[in-house]
Amino acid sequence: MQEVVTEPIESNPQQDKSSFYKRWWLWLILLCLVAGGVFALWKARQSPSSPASAKPGSKAVSLPTPVFVVPVRKGDMNIYLTGLGSVTPLNNVTVRSRVDGQLMTVHFREGQNVTKGSLLAVIDPRPFQVQLTQAEGQMARDLEQLLNSRLDLERYRTLWKQDSIPRQQLDTQEALVRQYEGAVKIDQGQIDSAKLQLTYSRITAPISGRIGLRLVDPGNMVHATDANGLLTIAQIQPIAVLFPLPEDSLPQVLRKMKGGRLAVDAFDREMKLKLASGELTTLDNQIDPTTGTVKLKAVFANREGELFPNQFVNARLLVDVKKNVVIVPSAAILKTPQGAFAFVLKPDKTVAMRPVKAGVTQGGETSIDEGLEAGEQVVVDGAERLREGSKVEVKERDQAGKGSSKGPDETVLSPRERWE
Residues 226, 107, single domain; the answer is: yes
Burial label, 88 (beta-carbon count in 10 A; 0-12, 13-18, 19+) = middle
How much is the average pLDDT of 296-316? 93
Residue 26 lies in a domain: no
* Position 23 confidence tier, pLDDT thresholds 50, 70, 90: low
Burial label, 219 (beta-carbon count in 10 A; 0-12, 13-18, 19+) = exposed
How much is the average pLDDT of 390-405? 61
Residue 392 lies in a domain: yes
Residues ≥6 apart with Cβ < 8 Å to 105 = 121, 122, 218
- Containing domain of residue 338, as a range? 66-77+323-419
Residue 265 lies in a domain: yes
Residue 44 lies in a domain: no
Residue 24 lies in a domain: no
Residues 107, 209, single domain; the answer is: yes
Residues 207, 151, single domain; the answer is: no
Task: Please give the tally of structural domains in the chain.
Answer: 4
Q: Is the pLDDT of residue 401 over 50?
A: no
Q: How far apart are the first and last CA of the chain?
A: 102
Where does a domain end: 200, 224, 246?
Answer: 200
Distance in angstroms (rounded) separating the CA atoms of residues 212 and 308? 12
Where does a domain end: 214, 233, 252?
Answer: 233
Nearest alpha carbon to residue 218 among 131, 101, 322: 101
Indicate which CATH number applies to the domain containing 283. Answer: 2.40.30.170
Indicate which CATH number applies to the domain containing 191. Answer: 1.10.287
Provide the percentage of residues in the chain whose pLDDT is more than 70.
83
Indicate which CATH number applies to the domain containing 215. Answer: 2.40.50.100
Residues 132, 173, single domain; the answer is: yes
Residues ≥6 apart with Cβ < 8 Å to 202 = 119, 122, 123, 125
Residues 408, 365, single domain; the answer is: yes
Q: Is the pLDDT of residue 371 over 80?
A: yes
Distance in angstroms (rounded) separating the CA atoms of residues 211 and 118? 12
Residues 411, 330, single domain; the answer is: yes
- Please tell me the predicted confidence (pLDDT) of residue 279: 94
Average pLDDT, the chain: 83
Indicate which CATH number applies to the domain containing 342. Answer: 2.40.420.20
8 Å CB contact between 85 and 184 = no
- Please tell me the predicted confidence (pLDDT) of residue 22: 55
Residue 32 lies in a domain: no
Residues 213, 338, single domain; the answer is: no
How much is the average pLDDT of 303-325? 90
- pLDDT tens string 118-164: 999 999 999 999 999 999 999 999 999 999 999 999 999 999 998 88
Residues 100, 191, single domain; the answer is: no
Distance in angstroms (rounded) separating the CA atoms of residues 239 and 305? 9
Residues 381, 411, single domain; the answer is: yes
Q: Is the pLDDT of residue 111 over 70?
A: yes
Residue 17 lies in a domain: no
Residues 365, 398, single domain; the answer is: yes
CA–chain centroid gap for 223, Å, is: 42
109, 113, 116, 119: CA torsion to nearest 10: -20
Nearest alpha carbon to residue 226 among 117, 104, 101: 101
Residues 100, 227, single domain; the answer is: yes
Where does a domain end: 276, 299, 322?
Answer: 322
Residues 330, 409, single domain; the answer is: yes
Q: Is the pLDDT of residue 337 over 90?
A: no
* Position 409 confidence tier, pLDDT thresholds 50, 70, 90: very low
Least confident window among 47-61, 70-84, 372-386: 47-61
8 Å CB contact between 255 and 270 = no
Residue 166 lies in a domain: yes
Q: Is the pLDDT of residue 310 over 60?
A: yes
Distance in angstroms (rounded) separating the CA atoms of residues 221 and 200? 15
